Amino acid sequence: MIFPINNIRNDFPILHRKVNGKPLVYFDNGATTQKPVAVIKAMEEAVFEYNSNIHRGVHTLSNVCTEAFEKAREKVARFIGAAHTHEVIFTRGTTESINLVTSSFGEMFLNANDEIILTEMEHHSNIVPWQLLQKRKGVRLNIVPIRDDGTLDMETFDAFLCENTKLVTIAHISNVLGTVNPVNEIVEKAHQRGIPVLIDGAQAIQHLSVNVTDLDCDFYAFSGHKMYAPTGIGILYGKEKWLNRMEPYHGGGEMIKHVSFKGTTFNELPYKFEAGTPNYTAAIGLGAAIDYIESVGLVNIREYENMLFDYAISRMSEIENVTFYGTSAHRTSLISFLLNGIHPFDTGTLLDKMGIAVRTGHHCAQPLMKRLNIQGTVRASFAMYNTCEEVDALINGLVKVRQLFG
């Protein structure tokens, strides 16, 4: 099949604008993706045609809005292959999803001296919540180191697994290195000892076909805005058996069955974890984003993005004096690098002058930067609407940066 790149680009109006007088080349998709018209239309319709607070309402608009919201949940459940729709919890994003597990699962199942395994390549959002739990409850954190190619040191992972281990929490794809971690193997090994696994899928959900049932993970967290949906909406998938036993995260309306000052009973899943009015407009937008991704086909997207990634790697290797961070064969969607002797801030600033948006700095992964012994990297991250011509623009840009430095 020929990938309909021109049609796709036309669906994203922002891609046609200029930045600093140059056509925009947007390679900061790992931070957030742009939104297709269909997503905005769905949200516009929700706001202008049937906006009303969901659930509880007896009137027509409330029912229509509730149906649209729950339909979005069904789409997410189907998209990730969840066994039950009520295993899909709406959150504000990956960060909140992880914090929900830390609070509710942590409160219920983790105690002093219990061990949690995480890795050196985690984003701060999968480190700091656990450090807070460490403070509160005295749990221990075992950090799996990385090898020089940016893959996990699985021997150390194996050695960490023991009877005290109560949770493994790990990124599906590293936001700095692009490494695709062996999550199947990790889940299998953890489960052999009855240890649950949380996967931070923020960088994976928009690139890989994720099936939580096949993967058999216990929790899977991701954000809408990195998969062409709006900001402020995210997902926590959790296995029913855990979610049922976990305490609510926030208290408030919607999440209760009955409230009295003698005692309160909680609503059933998933509402138990969705206190207050959720961002239903954004949830409807997320549903539309899934429709959009499925209309293009995740398999086609993957194939196209792989081609783009391979092209970018081969073109990048033409530039002299570049250091790549993350060189594993199992990586995807992004390239982290430094032009030797040039600070990432300088590279990023000069590329911006040429209309090219990349991310620079520590990428919210300071422990990983320490391991790599650098202050930061330049990161170009791809989405389905990027093109080989844009990769060429990046290469020309980098050549110019080099020239400016003489």
Residues lying near another protein in the complex (CB under 8 A) are found at 20, 342-346, 348-350, 353, 360-362, 375-376, 400, 404-406
Cα distances (Å, whole numbers) of residue 47 to 118, 214, 368: 41, 37, 42
In the complex with another protein, the residue whose CB is nearer, 143 or 342, is 342
DSSP lists the bridge partners of residue 142 as: 117
Q: CA-to-CA distance for 145 and 48, rounded, in angstroms?
A: 51
Shortest distance, position 21 Cβ to another protein, whole Å: 9
**What is the Cβ-side half-sphere exposure of residue 231, based on CA atoms within 13 angstroms?**
4
Active-site option among 65, 162, 364, 388: 364
Q: What's the CA gap between 301 and 206, in Å, rounded? A: 9
In the complex, minimum distance from the CB of residue 380 to another protein, in angstroms, rounded to a whole number: 17
SS3 at position 393 = helix
Q: Give whichever of 244 and 349 is closer to another protein, judged by the CB atom.
A: 349
Classified as helix, coil or strand, 216 is: coil
For the bound state, the minimum distance from the C-beta of residue 357 to another protein, rounded and expressed in Å, comes to: 14
DSSP-derived secondary structure letter, 277: -
CB 332 within 8 A of CB 242: no
Give residues with Cβ within 8 angstroms of 3, minimum separation 6: 300, 303, 304
- Could you confirm whether 364 is annotated as catalytic? yes
Closest contact distance (angstroms) between CB of 346 and another protein is 5
| Phi, psi dihedral angles at 283 (to 5 degrees) | -65, -40
How far apart are the C-alpha atoms of 326 and 199, rounded to whole Å? 20
- Least Å from the CB of residue 376 to another protein: 7
Give me the active site residues, please.
Answer: 364
